[in-house]
Amino acid sequence: MNKNSNHKKYIVLLVLFSLLSINLLICTCVKKAPEKTGEVILAKIGAKDISVGEFIRRAEYTIRPDYCKFDNYIHKKIILNSLIAEKLLALEAGEANELTQNQQFQEYLQGHQEQAMRQWLYNEIAYKKVKLDTNEIKKIYKIAGRKYKINFCNLSDSSKINHLKRELIDNKNTFEDVYRYYFGLEEIPQREVKWEDQNETVIHDAFFSMPLEKGQIIGPLKTEDGNYLLMEVAGWTDRMAISDTDIQKRWNDVSEFLKTKHANEIYADYIAKIMKGKKVEFARDTFFKLADIFAPFYLKSADDKKDAFSQKFWKDQFVADTLGTHIDDIMEHPLLKIDGQVWTVSNFLTELRLHPLVFRKRNMSQQEFPEQFKLAIVDMIRDRYITNEAYKKNYHEAPAVKRNTNMWKDYLLGLYQKNRYLDELGVEDKENLDVIYRYLNSYVDSLQLKYSEMIEIDTDKFEKIPLTRVDMFVLQKNVPFQIIVPSFPLLTTDHLLDYGRKMVN
């Protein structure tokens, strides 16, 4: 295999990981609270195990197939059998195989580990240190039931949006008159804002940090996409929490909101100290050449990216269509310098496999891309320094970090072993339900028998676990690897727990 071919596959793999992180959105929910330590073990499979928390996350944070979608005992047993089957396939694959020896696989797991380390650092440095004031909770609790109706204007030009605000505040014009005069439109854009919405933090803070009055002007607020929002409170209604359950839920939601808000402030100060005095200097020519190479991929529409992801990413045509071949010419060119250290394009690509880029602005024009590309690289570098601090504190050994890394490793090993087994049988369409009935059920049964002496299940705890039937695909925002848990393992429809033994506590 020639050098160019190696580089091409190298780039496509990192693009694949970026796609995994940013483009499989079905339903976005943000899990803000860090994972707790000391999770209760539900099942042991040799040296591997499944905690109660992991069972719930694997069942609730991704979409389950129809054969185990409902909250009943039979379906719950199918879920458990599927998760145990994934561990059994990982055991069957072993630790020495083509996948585990693959550098991209190793770096992909390292990327997940390092993201979990940064999140654990946030937990230890900031989240755990927040002590809430009951009076502050009460203050926000009083307005958490409000649903605001707002008029708004969204512009990319800060000077224009500030001019509009002066027209409203200084010249005391109405929002309707200003909007109609400057935009020539009769209908003013309106929306609702309520506590439960997944709004950006800057918007949520603006409406739920203090009571607002009808006619009050909010903003301009700079949003994640780089635009500016100017808003007017057109009115509001208040939904009172009546039942004990509603009252407790709202209290908990407000407490979590405030704890996260204060933790973010502590963490921002911590990061500022880490990065104090550090400056990134880009090599202009190399940077713009690299930006030109990456822009066609990152500026693709979401549908185009999903279509690209559905292709076999190692095909030469996909490589050429994705990034072209010009990357080879600049691999060893200096890209940037920070803290006396020079990063070549090759260094950057290695880091990119560990940390797919996170763009501050989601929708970019061709003209905006270089600046947003630069900011994403700067954020990547910042996270590298944060990760180094986490390594100094040995957070790669934290139980929550190891559990998360092992979950992804066992998922990928299980998938590898499943595909290897079906390849031996000449099966091509490996995700077909008929494949489970014809091939995988019996295969999983044989593994349950083979490893039965190594399997323990805490059936008492298992029977107490409640599940919902709501389809969700849960993502985290503003992190390199946004998918919280792997896809549900499509391995067995069997609901019988006729193997292993009951765990003795």
Indicate the range of 81-95, 180-194, 421-435 predicted with least confidence: 180-194
Per-residue pLDDT reduced to its tens digit, 319-378: 344 455 578 889 999 999 999 999 999 999 999 999 999 998 877 889 989 999 999 999
Per-residue pLDDT reduced to its tens digit, 15-63: 333 333 333 333 333 333 344 445 899 999 999 999 999 999 999 999 9
Per-residue pLDDT reduced to its tens digit, 196-249: 887 788 888 889 888 899 989 888 888 877 788 888 899 999 988 889 999 999
The single residue listed with the structure tokens 């929708």 is 363
User: Bridge-partner residues for 99, per DSSP?
Assistant: none
Confidence of residue 8 (pLDDT cuts 50, 70, 90): very low
Average pLDDT over residues 286-293: 94
Distance from C-alpha of 219 to C-alpha of 200, rounded to nearest angstrom: 14
Q: What is the pTM assigned to this prediction?
A: 0.82
DSSP annotation of 190 reads: E
Q: Encoding tokens for residue 492?
A: 């067995």
Indicate the range of 19-33, 96-110, 476-490 predicted with least confidence: 19-33
User: What confidence score (pLDDT) does residue 38 get?
Assistant: 59
Per-residue pLDDT reduced to its tens digit, 443-466: 999 999 999 999 999 999 999 998
DSSP annotation of 355 reads: S
DSSP 281-294: EE-HHHHHHHHHHH
Indicate the range of 85-89, 95-99, 151-155 predicted with least confidence: 151-155
Per-residue pLDDT reduced to its tens digit, 252-267: 999 998 999 999 999 9
User: Bridge-partner residues for 434, per DSSP?
Assistant: none
Task: Look at residues 411, 449, 410, 504 and name the one whose alpha carbon lies nearest to residue 48.
Answer: 410
Task: Look at residues 201, 199, 117, 101 and name the one whose alpha carbon lies nearest to residue 150.
Answer: 199
Confidence of residue 317 (pLDDT cuts 50, 70, 90): very low
E strand or H helix at 346: helix 345-354
Distance from C-alpha of 345 to C-alpha of 333, rounded to nearest angstrom: 6
* Beta-carbon contacts of residue 195 (< 8 Å; ≥ 6 apart): 144, 145, 146, 204, 208, 253
Average pLDDT over residues 470-477: 78
Query: Collapsing DSSP states into helix, strand and coil, what is residue 45?
Result: strand
Task: Tell me the residue ranges of DSSP E strands in 96-227.
Answer: 146-155, 190-194, 217-222
Distance from C-alpha of 351 to C-alpha of 441, rounded to nearest angstrom: 40
Stronger pLDDT, 311 or 119, i.e. the higher one:
119
